[in-house]
Amino acid sequence: MNLIITNGTVIGERLIPNGAVVVIGNKILFVGEERDSQLLLKAADRSVFQIIDAQGGYIAPGLIDIHIHGSAGVDLMDGTEEALRTMARYCASSGTVGFLPSTVTASREKTRRVAEVAAGFPRQPDEAAVLGVHLEGPYINETYKGAQYGPEIREADLAELQSLYEILGEKMRLVTLAPETPGALAAIDWLVERDIAVAVGHSNATYEEASAAIQRGANHATHLYNGMRGLHHREPGVVGAFLAEPDAYVQLIADMIHVHPGAIRVALNCKPLERVILITDAVQATGLADGEYVLGDQRIFVKDGAARLAEGNLAGSTLTLLKAVKNMIEVLGVPMADAFRMASRNPAEAVGLTDKGWIREGCDADLLVLSPDLDLQMTIIDGAIAYRAVQEGGQ
């Protein structure tokens, strides 16, 4: 079934009030003002086109989360198809159309099992797409391990990377490591040669070490400010290196817990718009009440929505990507089109997905229908409705 979505403001490269989007199959055919689609709308065969009324709300790009560990009671490191399927359903129900399930530092066997599950994952109609895998660790620095599992931290291992690459192929999309640790520079070279995005994270690298890694192709900062050597005026550290390099990407957890709004403003003033990426770093507790949960091999405790280890370290978030976008708009005053770009087109392009993440003719038909208050009404993935909010009277 093809789609015509009308009566909403389209959030594209700019806002298009009274806009419309036409979808044929799984691709966007038309984006523009509604008056330009009226002839098509009048001529549309209702047996061929489904007409969706945005009811004066917004037609937004589907969100893409390149850093998420779990949600709705499951953790990726459970290593089961059902766990990944639960994550995929939750993502679709919260406005995320595609994601990179993210590992944590774990044994070779557990990491390999997760790769095997993700590599052959068949998407169901009510699920977000698994666009690849993000390996966060195990090649990180103990000093900044955060909530990563210390006993499994190890030196970068090209044989292990090769074995995972043989399983995942192009689904091996992003690897987070600490460039100052043994073997890391060789790993960066190996990954970049295969067009796999490399991020610096959980790192005690100096400014010079981080800058050298960026020049080698490690051009992402995993959750900027968190889990890395901070900015000091005599040692700018990892944070300084990534703020100073205009072409490098920075991930931000915009839950207003991990990073102070003032620090987010610093990043926004330093970085070009197209290099800022919103992530969730979401964990098992996302979408659930406060309580005790797990992250990989560790217990975490959620209170007032903040997830921490017993010793107090932050341990991921309970954020959704749509909430992160709202926070950027409402707390930081970021223009709406810019805030959505940080959670859609930017993350897609950062991991080599050029047809996803924005509303443009010829791109994949991954769209959200939102209320005037930016509440999710509908998630459209690959040209089909994957989630519809339950409303009194129906939509």
Structure token digits, residue 299: 């217990």
Cα 197 off chain centre by: 14
First to last CA, the chain: 17
| Length reported for the chain | 395
Q: Read off the tokens for 23.
A: 């979808």
Distance, C-alpha 173 to centroid of its chain: 12
- The DSSP code sequence of 184-228 is HHHHHHHHHHTT-EEEE-SB---HHHHHHHHHHT--EETTTTTTB
Which 3 state secondary structure label does DSSP give 6? strand
Give the residue among 349, 302, 337 at the shortest CA–CA distance from 66.
Answer: 349
**CA-CA-CA-CA torsion for 277, 278, 280, 281, nearest 10 degrees?**
30
Q: DSSP label at 123?
A: P
| Cβ atoms of residues 75 and 69 within 8 Å | yes
Residue 281 designated active-site: yes
Other residues' Cβ atoms within 10 Å of the Cβ of residue 289: 8
Reduced to 3 states, what is the DSSP secondary structure of residue 157? coil
Distance CA 254, CA 87 (A): 20
CA distances from 194 to 104, 190, 222, 240, 249 (A): 22, 7, 20, 28, 19
3-state SS, residue 119: helix
CA 310 from centre of chain: 27
- Residue 329: other Cβ atoms inside 10 A: 16
Choose, from 78, 281, 338, 364, the residue flagged as catalytic: 281
Distance CA 179, CA 191 (A): 13
C-beta separation of 131 from 353 below 8 A: yes
Beta bridge partners of 52: 5
Active site residues: 281
